[in-house]
Each structure stands twice: as structure tokens, then as C-alpha cells.
Amino acid sequence: MNKNGKVATYIPILARADPDSWGVSVCTVDGQRHSIGDVKDPFTIQSVSKTLTYASILNDRGSEKVHEYIGYEPSGHSFNKIRLDVNGKPHNPMINTGAILACSLLKPEMDKRQRFNYVKNKFQNLAGGEFMRKNLGAFLSEKDNADQNFAIAYYMKANKCFPEGTILEEVLDLYFQLCAIDINCESGAVIAATLANGGVCPITDDHLLRSETVQDTLSLMFSCGMYDYSGQFAFKVGLPAKSGVSGCIILVVPKVMGVCLWSPPLDQWGNSCRGIEFCENFNEQFHFHNFDIGKEMTLRQRHTSRSKYQNKAMEVVKVLFGAFKGDVTAMRRYALQGVEMNQQDYDGRTALHVAAAEGHLNVVNFLLEECHVDFRLKDRWGYTPLEEAKRFGKKDIEELLEQMAGYEVET
Ligand code: GLU
């Protein structure tokens, strides 16, 4: 076990962290979960909040407006340095200058209570409603130990970085409050998975962020998310990630999964030692590096060399298997991907036949109400989904399909 690093000590809650705590949680874009270790223990989100704040303002105000105030270039300086870029703007939203400025762009028209609730709600939705709470103690300690952040904010004020009417104390309070939100590995993994899934939360299927928002957010996580190790991390791991001084890292494998790691001891750059080691080993195992073209090419080549029947067969199997398992989340995902939910296999069976025969009322409801599939299709033996429900004694489904058929006759 990697015992390197030291826990952050600038506030008591971080100084008290158990250096042996260690959790890894994974959530895939179709909502599969796997967690190991202390994945339910709370920790403050810290700088990972910068990612979510940035995504929120992008989503609310659009990239052009946001980048009138904040750049998108790595700074080459430590995260809390009092420095602006050549245009007199914060270099990027993943360091303190940019993140504090981002807070001034968050619903400035709201009063401070409403504003915090609005943002917290956004964060909570990105986490699929899973564990998240404000941590008053952490907020107060952040505020008590914030000379550097006050200095940054006043420096930016002197350089006219903020939009007109900005109330500096409120902006800083919001920044501290957002850093002081507690999450755990499980909820962090859902946040990362929502980003991996183009802004659609894999747990709730809520469409929370526009794809442009996600693209910009991941781009800056990729180039600036890991403090002064960002360049090396991009080189070695090749994936967007963001870390915080509580020892957490969210790692995004676009279109595949989100991962949240937590281990408090930090390296010289402020990244979790174990977290970094995990990311580097993970990559050796799975080759998710963005530019691992060798492996990707072979995959793609395999894909394009499949005949159209092979591709079709794989799709049918996927949909019918989801129905067989009663996995509504997977089914919804296929529907969102534009998969034809009415398709029949070589025996003429549809997902609705399978779900009816297996008695998965939730899938039947989803297929009928949200996908509007054709419930009259017959399989090669002449059975409709209604007859399947009857044959296998699935009463509730039989009634539902009978109602549908009856309604059709009446209208
Ligand atoms: N609350 C910390 C600060 O602004 C965030 C530190 C971090 O996670 O990078 O100094």
C-alpha cells in the first residue's frame, strides 16, 4: 500500500483526516456501480467544486459570456497564486482566481441564500441525488484561513476583473461554502459519470448539462485539473480529472465511466498520492488514454470489419437482454442512444415480448409509455406480447396490454 504523502493541515477538518482512509467508486454511463473501501465516508469536495461551478455557469450563461471574464489556459503557477493572464483575466476556472471569479457569475441576481441553494441543488442533481451535505464547520474554517483567497479577490477587484455590482464578500463566502460541501466516493463517481455521459446523469437519466458545457469542462479538466501536475497527468493518464486537497480525485473516461478516488495524503502538488498511483495503474490495465491510438485503432478496425448483420445482431441482443434482465436504466440508455426499441430478433421477438414473458412490468411500462413500441408485433410462432404475458401468467402485464388493445379498438 502506498503510504506516501501528508494530509493537508491548513484547516482542522483536513488535518484530522485518517491517512489510511481509501475508497474507489466507479459508475458507468449505463449506471453500473462498483465500489471498494471507504466509499461511504464523507469528505469535503474542495477544488472539485471548481469543476462543477464552471460547468454550472457555462450551462447557464454560455461559453462566450463566461470566457469574457476567465481564460482557458494552464497558468504555469500554483493554484492559489495571485496572478492574472496577459489580458488581465484569471488563467482558467480550475485555479482559485478563476474559481472565485466563476462564483461571481453564478446567478448574481439571486440573494446569497437562494444562490447557494441553487448551486447546491445543481451539484446534487449531478450526483444523481446521492450523498451531499453542507459542512458548516469546514466552511467556517475555510473562511478563517483564507487570507490568500481574500488577497486574490481584492487583487482581481483592483484589476476590474469582476462584473459590475459584484459583492466581494458574498462571492468569497459562496466559494468557501462550495469547497466545504461534503460528498463521498459513491456520489463523486456519479458526478464524474454524468460528465462521462455528456451531461445526462446515468442514475436518474436527467439531462443536466448541455454537451458543449461538458466538452468545455472536460477540456479544462484535462489541461488544468490536477494542479501543477496537470501536464504530467495528461501525458501519463490522458484523461480529464480534477483533484481537491481533501485527497479526492474525480476521473472521467468519456462515454465509458466516472471514477471517484479518495485518500487524504497528498503529494507535493496537492494531489492524492494513492489516487495518482491508481490512475496510472488503471491506465496500464485498461488503456483508456485518449491518445492510445494503437489499441483504439484495432478496436475500431474490428468494428468496421464486422458485417452489417453482425452489428445488427449485437444491437438486438443488447436490447432483448436488457428487457430480459428488467434493467430499465440500460433500456433508457439504449433509447437515448437512438436504438430502435421495436426491433425483432430472428424469431421475431421484441423487447416487449421478452419483458412481458419475464414479468418485468417496469420495462413494459417504459417501452409502452416512453418508447411507444408496437404491442401488436407477432413473433414467429404468432404470439403477441399480450399472449406471452398470458402464457407465463404475468397478470399485471396481461391487464395492462389488454387495456392498451381495448383502448385501440375503442378509438
Ligand atoms: N478551499 C481551498 C482553497 O481555496 C481549496 C483547495 C483545493 O482543493 O485546491 O484554498
The protein residue whose alpha carbon is closest to atom 2 in ligand 1 is 46
Please check whether residues 133 and 201 belong to one and the same domain. yes
Annotated catalytic residue 227: yes
Do 36 and 111 fall within a single domain? yes
Q: Does the residue 6 lie in any domain?
A: no
- Give the number of domains in the chain: 2
Separation of CA 245 and ligand 1 centre (Å):
6
Is 186 in contact with 130 (CB distance < 8 Å)?
yes
For the record, the C-alpha cell of 202 comes out as 446515468
Q: Which of 22, 45, 53 lies closest to 134 in space, CA to CA?
A: 45
Q: Ligand 1 centre from 29 Cα, in Å?
A: 29
In a domain, 194, yes or no: yes
* Residue 35: φ, ψ to 5°: -140, 145
Strand partners, 261: 24, 249
Annotated catalytic residue within 50, 89, 242, 390? 50
Catalytic residue among 54, 69, 175, 383: 175
Residue 1 has a pLDDT of 85
Please indicate, yes or no, if residue 186 is contained in any of the structural domains: yes
Domain identity same for 138 and 218: yes
What pLDDT does residue 411 have?
A: 47
**272/336 same-domain check:** no
Which of 46, 147, 171 is the pocket-test mutation for ligand 1 (most atoms within 8 Å of CB)? Answer: 46
Q: Please give all residues whose beta carbon lies within 6 A of any atom in ligand 1, as ranges.
A: 46-47, 79-80, 96, 142, 149, 179, 244-245
Spell out where 289-407 has E strands: none
pLDDT tens, N- to C-terminus, the chain (411 residues): 899 999 999 999 999 999 999 999 999 998 999 999 999 999 999 999 999 999 999 999 999 999 999 999 999 999 999 999 999 999 999 999 999 999 999 999 999 999 999 999 999 999 999 999 999 999 999 999 999 999 999 999 999 999 999 999 999 999 999 999 999 999 999 999 999 999 999 999 999 999 999 999 999 999 999 999 999 999 999 999 999 999 999 999 999 999 999 999 999 999 999 999 999 998 877 888 999 876 544 544 444 445 667 778 888 999 999 999 999 989 988 887 778 999 999 999 999 999 999 999 999 999 999 999 999 999 999 999 999 999 999 999 999 999 988 866 554
Which DSSP symbol is given to 369? I
For residues 117 and 263, state if they share a domain. yes
Can you tell me the distance from the alpha carbon of 283 to that of 279, in angstroms, rounded to the nearest whole number?
A: 6
**353 CA to middle of ligand 1, Å?**
54
Q: Whole-model pTM?
A: 0.75
| Residue whose CA is at the smallest distance from ligand 1 atom 4 | 96
Instruction: Kindly report the CATH number assigned to the domain that includes residue 178.
Output: 3.40.710.10
* The domain boundary residue, chosen from 254, 286, 318: 286
Residue 301, in any domain of the structure: no
How many other C-beta atoms can be found within 10 angstroms of the C-beta atom of residue 340? 14
pLDDT at site 311: 75
382 and 251 in a common domain: no
User: What phi, psi does 9 have (nearest 5°)?
Assistant: -125, 5
Q: Is 245 a catalytic residue?
A: yes
The pLDDT assigned to 297 comes to: 47
Are 273 and 316 in the same domain?
A: no
Q: What is the DSSP letter of 163?
A: P
Q: Ligand 1, residue 179: give the atom nearest the CA.
A: 1
Sheet with 241-244, side-by-side order of all strands: 33-37, 23-28, 257-262, 248-253, 241-244
Catalytic residue among 21, 25, 47, 263: 47
End-to-end alpha carbon distance in the chain: 68
Residues 323 and 382 in one domain: yes
User: How big is the CA angle at 194 (ends 116 and 300), to the nearest 5 degrees?
Assistant: 155
What is the DSSP pairing of strand 33-37 with strand 133-134? unpaired
Q: From residue 405, how far is each of 240, 349, 366, 367, 375 by CA, in Å? A: 50, 19, 17, 15, 8
In a domain, 292, yes or no: no
Strand pairing category for 257-262 and 248-253: antiparallel
Atom of ligand 1 nearest to the CA of 245: 8
Marked catalytic residue, from 54, 69, 72, 227: 227
227 lies in the same domain as 375: no
Number of the ligand 1 atom closest to the C-alpha atom of 176:
1
57, 160: one domain: yes
- For the chain, the C-alpha Rg in angstroms (whole number) is 25
User: In whole angstroms, what is the distance from residue 318 CA to residue 43 CA?
Assistant: 38
User: Are 108 and 253 in the same domain?
Assistant: yes
Residue 5 lies in a domain: no
In DSSP terms, which residues pair with 28 in a beta bridge?
Answer: 257
At 34 the three-state DSSP class reads: strand
Å from CA of 87 to ligand 1 middle: 24
Same domain, 279 and 314: no
The CATH number of the domain where 334 resides is what?
A: 1.25.40.20
In a domain, 108, yes or no: yes
Specify the length of the chain in residues: 411
Is there a contact between 103 and 174 (Cβ–Cβ < 8 Å)? yes
Range of the domain at 396: 308-410
Question: Given 235, 254, 286, which residue is the final one in a domain?
Answer: 286
Which strands, in side-by-side order, build the sheet including 43-44?
A: 43-44, 181-183, 133-134
Residue 52 within any structural domain of the chain: yes
Out of 231, 255, 286, pick the residue that ends a domain.
286
